[in-house]
Amino acid sequence: MTDTEMPDPLQMANLGIQHAIPVVHRMGVRFVEVRPGFAAAEVPFEDNGNHFGVMYAGVLFTVAEVLGGAIGITTFDSAKYFPLVKDLRINFRRPARSTVRASTSLAPEAVSAITAAADAHGKADFTLVAEIVDAEGTVVATTEGLYQLRTHGS
């Protein structure tokens, strides 16, 4: 990569985890797809199991929670805004015994409304609903997170 080339958003998101949240990186969480309004991450089962042979609940929570940061960075101007999590609820549905994938999205209309509110008030709340599926496509958990987009300096 030359000095004038920018890393792609997927590479930036994965480097962000590695450097900003090392514990998440050590779990093996990695983004597999990021674009404006969409993010997906995976985490392997290996080394993330619990005492009864299924994926540890905290790992499932983590792979869904980090989606808010990826959406925030790839959807909004990171020179002007930053995201943070305010609340996240998880509904465990089935045990996970394989790699899992979490994904979420924001509609373009929501992005416009969030941006306008953040510009007007210095911050704007938004909700992300994520689905976590195992290697067979079975939904193992769902989350609903309340995030906030803030302008730098607010």
Q: What is the DSSP string of 21-51?
A: -HHHHHHT-EEEEEETTEEEEEE-STT-B-T
CATH number (domain holding residue 30): 3.10.129.10
Given this model, what pLDDT does residue 2 score?
A: 52
Using DSSP bridges, classify how beta strands 30-35 and 139-151 pair: parallel, antiparallel or unpaired.
Answer: unpaired
Q: Do the domain assignments include residue 31?
A: yes
Q: Do the domain assignments include residue 41?
A: yes
Q: Do the domain assignments include residue 64?
A: yes
Total structural domains within the chain? 1
The pTM of the full predicted model, rounded to 2 decimals, is 0.91
**Range(s) of the domain holding residue 27:** 9-151
Q: Do the domain assignments include residue 124?
A: yes
Given this model, what pLDDT does residue 3 score?
A: 52
Q: Do the domain assignments include residue 74?
A: yes
Q: Do the domain assignments include residue 55?
A: yes
Given this model, what pLDDT does residue 5 score?
A: 64
Confidence band of 6 (pLDDT split at 50, 70, 90): low
pLDDT, tens digit, 9 for 90 and up, residues 18-72:
999 999 999 999 999 999 999 999 999 999 999 999 999 999 999 999 999 999 9
Q: Do the domain assignments include residue 45?
A: yes
